[in-house]
Copies of this chain bind each other. A is one copy, B any other.
Amino acid sequence: MTTTKQTIYYTLTDEAPSLATCSLLPIVRTFTAAADIDVKISDISLAGRILSAFPERLTEDQKVEDGLSFLGELTQDPDANIIKLPNISASIPQLRACIAELQSQGYDIPSYPEVAHGDEEKALQVRYGKLLGSAVNPVLREGNSDRRAPAAVKAFVRKFPHSMGKWSKASRTHADYMRGGDFFSSEQSVTVDKETDVRIEFVAKDGKVTVKKELQLEQGEIIDGMFMSCKALREFFEETLNDAKESGVMWSLHVKATMMKVSHPIVFGHAVTVFYKDLFEKHGELFKELEVNPNNGLGSVYDKISSLPRSQREEIEEDIQACYATRPEMAMVDSVKGISNLHVPSDVIVDASMPAMIRSSGQMWGPDGKQKDTKAVMPESTYSRIYQEMINFCKTNGAFDPTTMGTVPNVGLMAKKAEEYGSHDKTFEMTEDGTMRIVDAAGTVLTQHEVEKGDIWRACQTKDEPVRDWVKLAVTRARQSDTPAIFWLDPERAHDMELAKKVETYLQDHDTTGLDIRIMSYDEAIRLSMERQIRGKDTISVTGNVLRDYLTDLFPIMELGTSAKMLSIVPMLKGGGMYETGAGGSAPKHVQQVEEENHLRWDSLGEFMALAVSLEDMGIKKNNPRATVLSKTLDQATGKLLENNKSPSRKTGELDNRGSHFYLGLYWAQAVAAQTEDKELANLFAPLAKTLADNEDTIVGELSAVQGRPAELDGYYHAKRETVKRVMRPSATLNKVLASAHQ
């Protein structure tokens, strides 16, 4: 594989980010061209992925490159430089809608067979299956994670802080988690000293052995086995419900059913059947017939009973209501519509819901539409303790103050599907009592657990190479930012102790003179980080994959009000770099606003920041000093944009995404013109800076004039490029200025 050596690959994704790209890229290219850098589009949109999956059904004209495969290969290239925007993690309804749109555009793509009849349809299901869900990240994230709040964003927040709900010292809110019987307490962990094949086996009570899965482990790979007791989990739920009822606090459940897509829906389902115990006891038989799946939430009950005769349905609905009389108040997702915390498993996602709650005075919304203190139930104790620590901290010290608080960047172990986040295909719900064990090729039992029917057993893998790279990244970040770094490793957790051995070994590969690098339990680490934070001090969190995910929402939401403003870098194992932008998805609601009112509120701040580090990296690796100048000046421009409040407004008629791009271009050009490192470059951009400034009113006027009326995009998943271009670049003046730049 060869790549042009001075190329930034910019992903074309879906929905709002893809619209924004159409406006932003022409501006960006005006700058990068001056440094001989090409910015190439790589299409990883859902539509693009579908089309590239069926080349044999398309005409030559219709065929598209498989952008994801291309980028997947590129991750192995030391020169890779990728800017990755948010994309759709497709659900089945989204997949079907996209297929229908493509078909209507004349693409001969087969329909998705929801129930597969025959081998052909089964094969088709498998083929489409690869496009579903989080299909992109596992391919591209061939490195660990470096996430931080850029200085410009911190400066902006210090000036324009987001709201933070006051904490009462007498708050009743708390986290509640299992004290035994969970994954944490059963975890066993082994590092294999040489390459080996292992079998995950179930041994039934009668001695019969079933191989559940076979794995190939690399030398130095860590493998964990653990389980959650169904009985202990259900007892725990019952206790928390009784305790909440007794003490008068609201009850809420926080899991991550989207990411932990095998284990957490089951956990969620138990919460549903324990909360609505009387309902499920009374109607158990009927629900079985109706194929009610509690793992899909109470919504599944409402869904399945909708076809029943009215009287029968009403009886069940009354029985649902009756449950509320014996149970504590439950946190609501939408109290007006009566959508509770147990309605759908994907509505309350721990890494988003807990920071939101902590930011809102430790409260959630009750059935009466009022904010209330709550018991936040997070069964698995491994990670939930960090939330209790922060809750206690806020009770003691009050809400965090964004204008003075320090920052907690993260260096996260992520590469090669590390830890729990790669465990989906190794997670099993037990169908009978017996023993789960992991056995290596020599027959040695590596882990072993007595399990009961209903227990959730899982194995997790952590390869050695990513760990080594993660330690290196931590040292590098500590050195570059002159900031203490803490490895969050719990001495009471089997897996972490295996990891700690590696950390201690690999730290010796680096010069750590003058650095403050420590290993601490999660409790100690978060506490120290917070103590430092309220004194304005920064602390790098160096964590495993799950904490990476949780902390890069938790701290940013306190510090910045959102995690979307974080800089997210994936330094690839092979030397390349990926720069992720934003968080929180691809914003379908924003597209709707464009279609109805031609106003795009998408904030490209993430793209600005990602581009700056992408350029910075290119400057260093390719010895391209102009890239370095462009990087620095882009950061200055972003800072000025934030300071002057030229981010997109949510309101139609005010500055939107396109206007914000104009100001970025203006400030960037001015910054390049003003810098003295590269006089020639300054001279090159001085005219552009002047022209843009002179035409500010005209351009902003043209951009705002189009707003307020519907905009036709000619497609949603696969909108026509020309139409999108017309909509997203409506300022003739700006287009002309860009076209004639540097001439």
A170→B388 contact, CB < 8 A = no
In-complex Cβ contact of A174 among B170, B375, B523, B527 (8 A): B170
Complex Cα distance, B172 from A243, in Å, reads: 15
Question: How far does the Cβ of A174 sit from chain B's closest Cβ, in whole Å?
Answer: 5
**A170-B172 contact given A392-B392, A392-B395, A392-B396, CB 8 Å threshold:** yes
Question: How far does the Cβ of A396 sit from chain B's closest Cβ, in whole Å?
Answer: 5
Question: How far does the Cβ of A363 sit from chain B's closest Cβ, in whole Å?
Answer: 13
A255 at the interface (CB under 8 A from B): no
B392→A247 contact, CB < 8 A = no
Closest Cβ neighbor of A373 among chain B residues? B170
A370-403 interface (Cβ within 8 A of B): 373, 375, 388, 392, 395-396
Question: How far does the Cβ of A494 sit from chain B's closest Cβ, in whole Å?
Answer: 16
**A249-B174 contact given A392-B396, A395-B392, A396-B388, CB 8 Å threshold:** no
Identify the interface centre among A169, A244, A373, A527: most chain B CB within 10 Å of its CB.
A169
A440 at the interface (CB under 8 A from B): no
Question: How far does the Cβ of A372 sit from chain B's closest Cβ, in whole Å?
Answer: 11
Report chain B residues within 8 Å CB of A169: 174, 176, 243, 247, 375
The 0/1 profile, CB within 8 Å of B marked 1, for residues 242-266 of chain A is 0110011100000000000000000
In-complex Cβ contact of A172 among B172, B244, B528 (8 A): B172
B392→A170 contact, CB < 8 A = no
A168 at the interface (CB under 8 A from B): yes
Question: How far does the Cβ of A181 sit from chain B's closest Cβ, in whole Å?
Answer: 17
Report chain B residues within 8 Å CB of A531: 523
A157-193 interface (Cβ within 8 A of B): 168-174, 176
Complex Cα distance, B524 from A678, in Å, reads: 52
Report chain B residues within 8 Å CB of A171: 172
Question: How far does the Cβ of A265 sit from chain B's closest Cβ, in whole Å?
Answer: 26
A170→B247 contact, CB < 8 A = yes
Question: How far does the Cβ of A480 sit from chain B's closest Cβ, in whole Å?
Answer: 26
Question: How far does the Cβ of A390 sit from chain B's closest Cβ, in whole Å?
Answer: 11
A243-296 interface (Cβ within 8 A of B): 243-244, 247-249
Complex Cα distance, B264 from A22, in Å, reads: 70
Closest Cβ neighbor of A492 among chain B residues? B535
Report chain B residues within 8 Å CB of A176: 169
Report chain B residues within 8 Å CB of A174: 169-170, 395-396
Complex Cα distance, B176 from A244, in Å, reads: 26
Complex Cα distance, B373 from A576, in Å, reads: 57
Complex Cα distance, B527 from A373, in Å, reads: 25
Closest Cβ neighbor of A521 among chain B residues? B531
Question: How far does the Cβ of A386 sit from chain B's closest Cβ, in whole Å?
Answer: 12
Complex Cα distance, B373 from A247, in Å, reads: 12
Question: How far does the Cβ of A361 sit from chain B's closest Cβ, in whole Å?
Answer: 12
Question: How far does the Cβ of A315 sit from chain B's closest Cβ, in whole Å?
Answer: 35
Report chain B residues within 8 Å CB of A375: 169-170
Complex Cα distance, B395 from A392, in Å, reads: 9
Complex Cα distance, B395 from A170, in Å, reads: 12
Report chain B residues within 8 Å CB of A249: 170
Complex Cα distance, B520 from A528, in Å, reads: 12
Complex Cα distance, B169 from A192, in Å, reads: 42
Question: How far does the Cβ of A708 sit from chain B's closest Cβ, in whole Å?
Answer: 46
The 0/1 profile, CB within 8 Å of B marked 1, for residues 603-626 of chain A is 000000000000000000000000
Closest Cβ neighbor of A171 among chain B residues? B172
The 0/1 profile, CB within 8 Å of B marked 1, for residues 501-525 of chain A is 0000000000000000000000110
Complex Cα distance, B528 from A174, in Å, reads: 21
The 0/1 profile, CB within 8 Å of B marked 1, for residues 92-132 of chain A is 00000000000000000000000000000000000000000
A–B Cβ pairs within 8 angstroms, 13 of them:
A168-B243, A168-B247, A169-B375, A170-B243, A170-B247, A170-B248, A172-B172, A174-B396, A388-B396, A392-B392, A523-B527, A523-B531, A524-B528
For the complex of A and B, 3 pairs with smallest distance between CB atoms: A170-B172, A170-B247, A392-B392
Chain A residues with a Cβ under 8 A of chain B: 168-174, 176, 243-244, 247-249, 373, 375, 388, 392, 395-396, 523-524, 527-528, 531
Given contacts A169-B174, A170-B172, A170-B373, 7 further A-B contacts (CB under 8 A): A170-B173, A170-B174, A170-B247, A172-B172, A174-B395, A524-B524, A527-B527
